[in-house]
Structure 1
Amino acid sequence: MADADGQPEGSLAAKVDHLFRTVRPRPGREYSFDEVAETIKARGGPTISATYVWQLRRGLRDNPTKRHLEALAGFFGVPPAYFFDDAVTEMIDSELALLIALRNSSVRRMALRASGLSAKSLSALTAMVERAREIEGLPEGPDGETGP
């Protein structure tokens, strides 16, 4: 299976690409390769060029140094294990999916309004949301869970 840019799922390129598409300075805009390289340098990280970051994202390079991966992880706010441990990758990707959902003001407002409700009420709301997704022909939630 491949990601949106045709990189093999789970590859370094797919993970770097996912971070670019998900972790953003503001809605609607990805970080540029220059921003990534300059920020890493400004933080005292290893020398890394914008071209090299681009090559990592596109899968043209796939064997970066440990320091480069640590710097990229630090830039995007994920642990370095994100690039090595599939369980960590899955956990972080679930958290990133939640952050993306919370960017939507309606979703954020609904989540805040649900705070403090009992487990029984939260279960009922989850069932209603899952039913609404089914009616609208939407896939299961980002974590693959359905129902309460």
Structure 2
Amino acid sequence: MSDEDRGDPRGSLAQKLRYIRFTQRGLGNRVLGFEEIADNVTRVTGRRCGAGYIEKLFTGQLDRHPDDERLQAILTQFGKSLADLEDRGDPHGTFGQRLQHLRYQFGQERLNGKPLPLEQIAAHVREYTGRSCTYKYIAQLLNDRDSQGLARDKIEALADFFDVSPAYFFDDEKSRADQQKLDAQSAFIAALSELREVGGDFQAAFRQLKPGQAMDSEHLLQLAAEIRASVEALRGHATES
């Protein structure tokens, strides 16, 4: 048997199945035949399954993903479960690998090890952004398709779902700087909002932004701190009155 036939535990579904079939052998250290696997699937599910279907599944020739019932029947024969097919991702890898790592952790910590349904992620993105998002699109992101052009609001939605910073998905210097700038802008706007609520001089605070420093993270954070100090002082005066 060639190295390619042995599959890959970190590859596609077909590669993972070939790896399981090669490593989890039957009596006499024998690799189970496709006919044997098909007969077991038919017996377990009560639905006819042919050897041709199994061969196409294991060789990556199927046009669509197999349903969970059949897939679970196959895995049970090898002492495995759907969780054994779950890709753990890489917190230091590509966008898709980082997203997959979050998905794996979510399943381990909140779903008793079961894979997190892609539709659950997609539903949160739709609710957060008010825009279209399908489980198929999430699958594309996991495979690093379209992630380069992913809109900021969808990145923020994914980060919100998994309770991480949007910067988690990137680690280059520019991305970190962009995230720091975004955080500083948010802090400044929030401080202005608090000032308006207590009747402070909103326009005067806004005019403190100096030309050339309007987008400077350090300057914005400093102003936000000064504005919040003014807010606390105004609240103190209101309490004394």
TM-score using structure 1 length: 0.49
Higher relative contact order (CA 8 A, sep 6+): 1
Select the structure that is richer in helix.
2
